[in-house]
Amino acid sequence: MSESLVSPPRSAFDQDWRKVVRFGLILAAALLFVSLTDMPDKLDRKIVIEQYLSMGYLVLLWLPLALGGLVTREVVLEGMASHAKGAREVVAGAAVGLIGGLGLSGLIWLLDTRDLSDPLVNWNDDLLEILTFGQSVGTGALYWVLISVSLGAMGGLAQVVPAAVRRSVMASIVAVILVAALEAALDDISEGFRLEWLFDLMFAKRGGLTVAGVVIVIVVAVGYSLIGRIKTAEVKERYDALKGAERQKANTGLLLLTAAAVVILPMFLGKLTNELLANVGLFLLLALGLNIVVGLAGILDLGYVAFFAVGGYTTAILTSPSSPAFSPELPWIVAVIIVVFMACIAGLFIGAPVIRMRGDYLAIVTLGFGEIIRLTVRSDWASGLTGGAQGITSIPGAQIFGLTEVRGINPQAVFYLVAFFCAIAIYMSWRLERSRLGRAWMAVREDESVAEAMGVNTVNVKLMAFVVGAILAAFSGAIFAAKVGSVFETSFKVLVSIVILVVVIVGGMGRIAGVIAGAVVLIGVLGGPNQPGLLAEFSEFKLLIYGALLVWMMLKRPEGLVPNARRSRELHQDEFLQDAWLKGEIDDDDGSTVEGEVAPA
Partner 1 sequence: MTTTLRSRAASKTGVDWFLTFLRVALSTLVIVGLAAFIGQQIDPDNFFARTVNEDATRLSWEALKDLVISGLSQGSMYGLIALGYSMVYGVLGFINFAHGEVFMVGAMTGMITSTKLAEGGLWESNFILAILIAVVVSVLCSTATAVIMERIAYRPLRGAPRLIPLITSIGVSFFIQNTSAVLLGPGAKNYPRLPDWLRDDVPVLGIEGKKVVVLVVAAISMGALWYLVERTKTGKAMRAVAEDKEIASLMGIDVDRTIVTTFAVGGAMAGVAGILWGILFGSVTEFTGFLPGIKAFSAAVVGGIGNLGGAMAGGLTLGSSESLAPQLVLEPLGVTGHTQLKDAVAFLVLIFVLLVKPTGLFGERLSSEDRA
Tell me the closest approach of the beta carbon of residue 99 to partner 1, in angstroms.
19
Using CB under 8 A as the binding rule, whether residue 114 contacts partner 1 is answered as no
505 binds partner 1 (CB under 8 A): yes
The answer to the question of residue 501 lying near partner 1 (CB under 8 A) is: yes
Residue 549 sits in the site that holds partner 1 (CB under 8 A): yes
* Comparison of 139 and 457: residue with beta carbon closer to partner 1: 457
Closest approach of Cβ 425 to partner 1, in Å? 23
Residue 554, interface with partner 1 (CB under 8 A)?
yes
Position 450 contacts partner 1 (CB under 8 A): no
Q: Report the half-sphere exposure of 563 (CA within 13 A, side-chain side).
A: 15
Cβ neighbours of residue 277 closer than 8 Å, sequence gap 6 or more: 266, 269, 411, 415, 524
Give the footprint of partner 1 on residues 298-317 (CB under 8 A). 298, 300, 302
- Which of 543, 562, 577, 594 binds partner 1 (CB under 8 A)? It is 543
Is 41 a binding residue for partner 1 by CB under 8 A? The answer is no
Nearest to 209 by CA among 59, 41, 58, 60: 58
DSSP output for 516-583: HHHIIIIIIIIB-SSSB-S-GGGGGTHHHHHHHHHHHHHHH-TT-SS--HHHHHHHTHHHHHHHHHHT
CB of 552 to partner 1, least distance (A): 8
- In contact, 291 and 512? CB cutoff 8 Å: yes
Task: Label each residue of 30-97 as H, E or C.
Answer: HHHHHHHCCHHHHHHHCEEECCCEEHHHHHHHHHHHHHHHHCCCCCCCCCCCEECCCHHHHHHHHHHH
Q: Return the closest-CA partner of residue 141 out of 153, 128, 154, 151.
A: 128
Closest CA to 556 of 70, 7, 191, 26: 70
Rule CB under 8 A: is residue 378 a binding residue for partner 1?
yes
- How far is Cα of residue 67 from the mean position of the Cα atoms in its chain? 22
**Part of the chain binding partner 1 (CB under 8 A), chosen from 135-143, 179-187, 226-234, 370-378:** 370-378
Q: State yes or no: residue 122 binds partner 1 (CB under 8 A).
A: yes
> Does 353 participate in binding partner 1 (rule CB under 8 A)?
yes
Cβ-based neighbour number of residue 364 at 10 Å: 14
Q: Which is nearer to partner 1, 265 or 549 (CB)?
A: 549
Helix (H) or strand (E) holding 451: helix 448-453
CA–CA distances in Å: residue 544 to residues 190, 541, 547: 32, 5, 5
Choice from 238, 356, 436, 583 touching partner 1 (CB under 8 A): 356
Q: What are phi and psi of 7, to 5 degrees?
A: -90, 160
DSSP 210: -
How far apart, in Å, are the Cα atoms of 528 and each of 207, 276, 286? 24, 10, 12
Among 359, 409, 431, 593, binds partner 1 (CB under 8 A): 359
Helix axes 332-354, 458-484, angle to 10 degrees: 140
Any contact of residue 363 with partner 1 (CB under 8 A)?
Answer: yes
- List the one residue from 15, 22, 30, 37 that touches partner 1 (CB under 8 A): 37
Based on the shown chain and the rule CB under 8 A, indicate whether residue 29 belongs to the binding site for partner 1. no
Window contacting partner 1 (CB under 8 A); options: 143-151, 221-229, 409-417, 444-452: 444-452
Closest CB to partner 1 among residues 240, 574: 574
- Residue nearer to partner 1 on the CB measure, 34 or 418: 34
Which backbone phi and psi does 82 adopt, to 5 degrees? -105, 160
**Given phi > 0 = left and psi -120 to 50 = alpha, else beta, which region is 364?**
alpha
Give the nearest distance from C-beta 572 to partner 1 in angstroms: 10
Question: Nearer to partner 1 by C-beta: 238 or 356?
Answer: 356
223: Cα within 13 Å, side-chain hemisphere: 6
Q: Which of 6, 30, 36, 70 binds partner 1 (CB under 8 A)?
A: 36
Q: Residue 134, interface with partner 1 (CB under 8 A)? A: no
Taking CB under 8 A as the criterion, the residue among 547, 565, 582, 583 binding partner 1 is 547
- With CB under 8 A as the contact rule, the residue among 257, 375, 454, 536 that binds partner 1 is 375
List binders of partner 1 among 239-258 (CB under 8 A). Answer: none
- Binding-site member from 498, 516, 535, 586 for partner 1 (CB under 8 A): 498
357 belongs to the binding site for partner 1 (CB under 8 A): yes
The alpha-helical segments, DSSP class H, found in 162-270 are 163-181, 183-192, 196-202, 211-223, 229-241, 244-268
Q: How far is the CB of 352 from partner 1 (least distance, A)?
A: 5
Residue list 174-193, contact with partner 1 (CB under 8 A): none
- Cβ 459 to partner 1, closest distance in Å? 5
548 binds partner 1 (CB under 8 A): yes
Asked whether position 352 contacts partner 1 by CB under 8 A, the answer is yes
**Rounded distance between C-alpha atoms, residue 446 and residue 442, angstroms:** 6
Closer CB to partner 1, 110 or 216, in the complex: 110
Only segment of 30-38, 145-153, 426-434, 435-443 that touches partner 1 (CB under 8 A):
30-38
Asked if residues 482 and 406 have their Cβ atoms less than 8 Å apart, the reply is yes
Binding site for partner 1 (CB under 8 A): 36-38, 118-122, 298, 300, 302, 352-353, 355-361, 363-365, 367-369, 371-372, 375-376, 378-381, 383, 448-449, 452, 459-460, 463, 494, 498, 501-502, 505, 540-541, 543-544, 546-551, 554-555, 558, 570-571
